[in-house]
Amino acid sequence: MDVSHLIDSLNDAQREAVCASPGHYLVLAGAGSGKTRVLTHRIGWLNQVERVPTWAILAVTFTNKAAGEMRARLDNLIQGGTQGLTVGTFHGIAHRLLRRHWREAGLPESFQILDADDQQRMVKRIVAGLGLDEARFPPRQAAWQINSWKDEGKRPENIEAGQHPVTRTLVQIYQAYEDACRRAGLVDFAELLLRAHELWLKQPAVLEHYQQRWRYLLIDEFQDTNSLQYAWIRVLAGRTGQTFVVGDDDQAIYGWRGAKVENVQQFLRDFPGARTIKLEQNYRSTSTILKAANSVIERNGHRLGKQLWTAGEEGERIAVYAAYNEQDEARFVIERIREYVAEHGDAKDCAILYRSNAQSRNFEEQLIQHDIPYRVYGGLRFFDRAEIKDALSYLRLTANRHDDAAFERAVNTPPRGIGDRTLDVLRRRARGESLSMWEAALNELAMGTELAGRAKNAVKGFLAMIDEMARTFSPSPLRGEGWGEGSILPEALAPNSPSPNPLPGGERASNSEALSLAEQIEHAVTQTGLRDFYENDSRGNAESRVENLDELVNVASRFELTPDDIEAGLSELSAFLSHAALEAGEGQGESWDNCVQLMTLHSAKGLEFPLVFLVGLEEGLFPSQRSVEDEGRLEEERRLAYVGITRARKRLFITHAESRRMHGTEMLSRPSRFLGEVPPSLLDEVRPRVQVSRPLYAGRFAEPAPSLQEDLPVKLGQRVSHPSFGEGVVVSAEGSGAHTRLQINFENAGSKWLVAAYAKLTPL
DNA sequence: ACACTATGAGTTTTT
DNA sequence: CTCATAGTGT
């Protein structure tokens, strides 16, 4: 067979990786070195040359997008198709395993996935339910801690809290949260991985099956794996699996959410005979850009070590612009974009990359002013939108009445007179008797005394509505397992309830009268009053919300079960709900239009653009204030800078502002240290245009000095208080009069430069 | 139960 | 400053 298409276009290092003989490999793939190509061609090589059947190959990525791209490229590459090949995210694969082995994993058959938002609400209710002070145990942090523990593979009983009271309470929250999830049949993201891992450890037969099947493991973005994912791979590989991991320690930027770069080096120790292959030839950027990137990343210690190089052109120097303030910065960037668009054309070639989301605002304003189309990445995704989650929560309840997260959301959206007081009665009962909210409501209606007539009727109506909806969806009862079609209302409450008439033999209902998924959603959106509610929404965005609800129906009508779903025994509804949780969908408006791209440095990883604007390179912003004290975190910031620089193909612009409004106060900042780490010979300093910007600058400082100025004699060592930064000491001062800038060491907020005239300082 | 006001927090994000 | 949420008042 002719396999030249698999190797012809490769350089030596790439070919070495693609054609490697059996064994474990670590491919250190620098930015723009053809990582995905190596990964896909390796799979092609295994299949077509080594004759490895597709079903024996497992390729794991972190995002659905990456998985989708890989599959698309494989479809083009592999003759005979990619049938049987598993390509997916860690979470997606773990999810499928749990669906197929729900019993062994100790889950209800109809378990559903709890997304991050639902998880936080759930934790919040737990914290409140335990009678804890939410200020001392912020639900956000508690949820973060629980996820961290799960990522470390820890259950509440494995945590050594010792005498530390805060930790002990957090463990208590973890335990209670876990109980609540179990009762509700809910599994959060971290739980998917942890359960799948435990499934393997506890069920050797299941593990062996998958070890026998997936003998070839390929992992993308290996530097982003957390402890649990690493353990997962190790267990699955066992003694016989061959692993091919691809990553770049210099692009590890997710340490703060549990990723362990150390896994890259650990891999070489844990997998016997593992060999390293470095991909250092870059096909993306000019040599100027690469030199800059190399010299920045060289400052980091503990690297495996790589030097990017290119056979391509030197290119232009990197333009650096020292802006007066953030408006001036945005003006400069937009001007360059307009020039570029006027000369060459495409706005979509331009990317503005920033450290924090808040920075997009200025750029957006000016882009709007100049009628330049733009797209901001990383907004709310489709399935994360409140109206979508509202609609789906009704479907979740029809599938599983005990889904407390769905219950809490649906119960009073739209408002139906079931307020906090009423819910607290139900919550207390649920907690006290270890029941789901649904069961608690049933009990309260049957024998409770705490609810007044009006509230009681509202609850009764809600329960009846859900039951009624479930009956409409599938007129014949499915199976009587207790989890899905759990609780039928007492006869008296259920209007026209036909006596239960279960099908013999647990046959799956395929009643011709059953509603399609799209019809079910349409029904839910309409019958619950959700659409009416949003149509009359006073907050102005009614139109788009209703459009989104309609779009949800469309999405559902296009939804199809995959062979995998069917094999795992998923119903259409279950599969759709899982899909909604695992693939939150594109960010808003996936317009393929010719738009300027705005995004954070984090979301830029993996992308490339002819023109890149790296903005806000200032100490305190990038690197962020919170990272400068810790060497490890600072190195991660530096890797982020490396990622940013290497996004640029032709031209890189770096900007920083001398003055920037942050959290409502005017801040002065020095250029980022990362800027100083680029050899000056590669830089081209653009002078600010004095005529345009000066008056603005001068004008603002020419205004009468605020009175504070007078009664703040600038003395070094003076203790002062600032409304947002707290107390600190003046350690140095520059300039005079209205231009006076003070350096203040704040006790909690670190060192800042502030304009004396603007900072609201109180001498102490 | 809902609308309004006050208060506080404010890197980075996928699944 | 700007957003989200908590708390207050009707």
* Ligand-binding site membership of A603 (annotated): no
d(CA A459, CA A411) in angstroms, rounded, equals 8
Q: Residue A673's domain is classified under what CATH number?
A: 3.40.50.300
Q: Which nucleotide is nearest to A257 (CA to C1')?
A: B13
A358 found inside a domain: yes
pTM, two decimals, is 0.86
Given the residues A48, A82, A112, A251, the one annotated as active site: A251
pLDDT category at A742 given cuts 50, 70, 90 is confident
**What pLDDT shows up at residue A709?**
39
Q: Is A251 a catalytic residue?
A: yes
Please state which of the ranges A208-217, A245-254, A558-567, A705-714 shows the lowest mean pLDDT: A705-714
Q: How many CB atoms within 10 Å of residue A613?
A: 29
A696 found inside a domain: no
Pick the last residue of a domain from A166, A184, A202: A184
Q: Is A35 a catalytic residue?
A: yes
Which residues does strand B reach (CB under 7 angstroms)? A 62-65, 89-92, 115-116, 189-190, 253, 256-257, 355-358, 378, 412, 415, 417-422, 455, 538, 582-584, 599-600, 602-603, 624, 626-627, 633, 637, 663-664, 724
pLDDT tens column, A481-504 = 444 444 444 433 433 333 333 333
Q: Is A36 a catalytic residue?
A: yes
Residues A372 and A420 placed together within one structural domain of the fold = no
A310 found inside a domain: no
Q: Residue A752's domain is classified under what CATH number?
A: 2.40.10
Question: How far is CA A429 from its chain centroid?
Answer: 35
pLDDT tens column, A510-537 = 444 678 999 999 999 999 999 988 888 7
Q: Is the pLDDT of residue A129 over 60?
A: yes
Q: Which nucleotide is nearest to A599 (CA to C1')?
A: B12
Residues A538 and A600 placed together within one structural domain of the fold = no
Residues A135 and A232 placed together within one structural domain of the fold = no
Pick the last residue of a domain from A130, A156, A184: A184
Please state which of the ranges A128-137, A502-511, A576-585, A744-753 shows the lowest mean pLDDT: A502-511
**How much is the mean pLDDT over chain A?**
87
Residues A601 and A680 placed together within one structural domain of the fold = yes
Residues A199 and A237 placed together within one structural domain of the fold = yes
Q: Is A220 a catalytic residue?
A: yes
Number of structural domains chain A divides into: 5
User: In terms of Cα–Cα distance, which of A207, A187, A193, A18 is closest to A89?
Assistant: A193
pLDDT tens column, A234-245 = 999 999 999 999
> Do A295 and A323 contact (CB within 8 A), yes or no?
no
Residues A412 and A545 placed together within one structural domain of the fold = yes
**What pLDDT shows up at residue A621?**
96
A302: left (phi over 0), alpha (psi -120 to 50) or beta: left
Residues A358 and A501 placed together within one structural domain of the fold = no
Pairing type for strands A216-219 and A665-668 reads unpaired
Q: Is the pLDDT of residue A94 over 70?
A: yes
Residues A36 and A92 placed together within one structural domain of the fold = yes
Average pLDDT of span A466-490: 62
Domain range holding A620?
Answer: 318-380+592-686
Long-range pairs, A470-473, Cβ under 8 A, ≥24: A470/A398, A472/A515, A472/A523, A473/A398, A473/A514, A473/A515, A473/A520, A473/A523, A473/A573
Given the residues A14, A35, A248, A637, the one annotated as active site: A35
Residues A390 and A374 placed together within one structural domain of the fold = no
**What pLDDT shows up at residue A734?**
66
**What pLDDT shows up at residue A695?**
32
Average pLDDT of span A149-156: 96
**What pLDDT shows up at residue A502?**
35
Percent pLDDT > 90 in chain A is 68
A106 found inside a domain: no
d(CA A349, CA A368) in angstroms, rounded, equals 18
Q: Which nucleotide is nearest to A381 (CA to C1')?
A: B14
Q: Residue A457's domain is classified under what CATH number?
A: 1.10.486.10
* Ligand-binding site membership of A569 (annotated): no
Residues A224 and A156 placed together within one structural domain of the fold = no
* Ligand-binding site membership of A33 (annotated): yes
* Ligand-binding site membership of A34 (annotated): yes
Q: Residue A119's domain is classified under what CATH number?
A: 1.10.10.160
A291 found inside a domain: no
pLDDT tens column, A182-221 = 999 999 999 999 999 999 999 999 999 999 999 999 999 9
Q: Is the pLDDT of residue A56 over 50?
A: yes
**Which has more confidence, A688 or A582?**
A582
A520 found inside a domain: yes
Q: Is A384 a catalytic residue?
A: no
A662 found inside a domain: yes
